[in-house]
């Protein structure tokens, strides 16, 4: 796989013409967006002023003006950037993925299916809205790999019947073949209980979590501090989570700097990295030519595709071929 510096060179040299073109488009879009926001802001103030002059009071109509302006703003923003956004994905993200690995295919508007996301059993809350984009799939060193952005949400209602949407997971979801045979399910989740309540009370809470499989205590203190493991089979969980695999997962957590969830189910490894934002989206308010922007896209793509190499999923050392 190409190094980050080789990819940065590729970004600035091979994609230079497309970047220049898109940068001009971005500037034009930015002006339109700022104009739209300005008009909406002024209109909102005018309407609020008119309402205040007519009744000299404060009521919930102001909130509705705000909500309406935000909704129109959001819709308008998406509409204004749609051409620039698809151009960016086709002219920048697709060539970058192909430069990393030719065997990978990119579908900007597709995502990992909800059924596969739920099959991981990493997030057991009811999903009421599921969206995603930027699907990359293919084979890398003989390992089948796919990943995409995912946003899964849950709907709830408060005592007044008002609807609220909460995010269950937003970030990168990666699915790959695993190089060992296993029958059961092993889940690795961020260790929230021990971090909040300490190892004694946190450990007790974890072992009494009746919604999960058996608690599997691992013999690596650093891993045990960062993650909590649940599994259907104590031996199988340790067969999957060797000391080297635990070290690799700890490194993955450190490198991404985010919450990492891992599921081993159906002979697949599924990894959810909580980025809390939509990745691979073009910037509107800062330059595409900025090194931080370029490195952000390259780093995310490289680390997602590099999972196969990083976790040594391509090592066919066992009887599984």
315 scored as a contact of other proteins (CB under 8 A)? yes
317 scored as a contact of other proteins (CB under 8 A)? yes
CB 265 within 8 Å of CB 236: no
Binding residue for other proteins, selected from 151, 238, 253, 302, defined by CB under 8 A: 238
Which segment (16-24, 56-64, 157-165, 228-236) binds other proteins by CB under 8 A? 228-236
For residue 33, how far is the Cα from the chain centroid? Answer: 26
For other proteins, the closer CB: 97 or 237: 237
> Minimum distance from CB of 285 to other proteins (Å)?
48
Binding residue for other proteins, selected from 164, 225, 243, 251, defined by CB under 8 A: 243
Helical packing angle, 16-55 and 4-13, nearest 10°: 80
Binding residue for other proteins, selected from 126, 155, 164, 217, defined by CB under 8 A: 217
Binding mask of the shown chain, residues 254 to 293, with x at each position contacting other proteins by CB under 8 A = ----------------------------------------
SS3 (DSSP) at 319: coil
Residue appearing with tokens 């390992």: 143
For other proteins, the closer CB: 37 or 239: 239
Binding residue for other proteins, selected from 18, 199, 234, 283, defined by CB under 8 A: 234
Burial class of 11 by CB neighbour count within 10 A (0 to 12, 13 to 18, 19+): buried
For residue 12, how far is the Cα from the chain centroid? Answer: 26
The sheet carrying 186-190 orders its strands as 104-107, 129-140, 143-157, 163-177, 268-274, 259-265, 186-190, 227-231, 214-216
103 scored as a contact of other proteins (CB under 8 A)? no
Q: What DSSP string runs through 116-172?
A: HHHHT-S--SPPSEEEEEEEEEEEETTEEEEEEEEEEEEEEE-TT--EEEEEEEEEE
Binding mask of the shown chain, residues 172 to 211, with x at each position contacting other proteins by CB under 8 A = --------x-------------------------------
Which segment (92-100, 122-130, 236-244, 256-264) binds other proteins by CB under 8 A? 236-244
> Minimum distance from CB of 136 to other proteins (Å)?
28
> Minimum distance from CB of 202 to other proteins (Å)?
16
Q: How far apart are CA 49 and CA 46, in angstroms?
A: 5
Q: Of residues 118-147, which lie at the interface with other proteins (CB under 8 A)?
A: none
Q: What is the CB neighbour count within 10 angstroms for residue 148?
A: 25
For other proteins, the closer CB: 70 or 244: 244
Q: How far apart are CA 97 and CA 310, in angstroms?
A: 17
Q: Which residues bind other proteins (CB under 8 A)?
A: 180, 217, 219, 234-239, 242-244, 315, 317-319
């Amino acid at each position: 796989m190409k190094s980050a510096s080789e990819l940065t060179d590729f970004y600035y040299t091979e994609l230079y013409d497309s970047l220049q073109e898109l940068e001009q488009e971005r500037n034009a879009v930015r002006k339109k967006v700022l104009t739209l926001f300005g008009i909406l802001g002024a209109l909102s103030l005018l309407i609020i002023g008119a309402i205040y002059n007519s009744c000299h009071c404060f009521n919930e109509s102001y909130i509705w003006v705000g909500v309406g302006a935000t909704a129109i703003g959001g819709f308008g923003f998406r509409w204004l950037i749609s051409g620039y956004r698809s151009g960016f994905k086709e002219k920048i993200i697709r060539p970058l993925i192909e430069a990393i690995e030719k065997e990978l295919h990119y579908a900007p508007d597709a995502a990992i299916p909800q059924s596969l996301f739920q099959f991981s059993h990493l997030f057991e809350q009811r999903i009421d809205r599921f969206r995603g984009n930027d699907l990359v799939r293919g084979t890398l060193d003989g390992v089948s790999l796919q990943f995409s952005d995912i946003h899964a949400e849950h709907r709830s209602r408060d005592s007044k019947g008002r609807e609220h949407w909460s995010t269950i997971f937003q970030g990168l979801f990666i699915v790959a073949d695993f190089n060992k045979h296993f029958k059961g399910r092993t889940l690795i989740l961020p260790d929230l209980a021990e971090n909040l309540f300490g190892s004694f009370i946190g450990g007790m809470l974890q072992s009494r979590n009746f919604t999960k499989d058996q608690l599997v205590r691992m013999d690596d203190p650093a891993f045990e501090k960062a993650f909590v493991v649940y599994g259907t089979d104590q031996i199988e969980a340790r067969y999957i989570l060797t000391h080297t695999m635990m070290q690799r997962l700890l490194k993955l957590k450190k490198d991404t700097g985010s919450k990492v969830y891992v599921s081993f189910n159906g002979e697949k490894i599924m990894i959810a990295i909580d980025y809390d934002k939509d990745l691979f989206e073009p910037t509107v308010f800062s330059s595409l030519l900025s090194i931080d922007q370029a490195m952000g896209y390259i780093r995310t793509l490289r680390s997602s595709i590099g999972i196969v190499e990083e976790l040594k999923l391509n090592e066919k050392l066992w009887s599984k071929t």
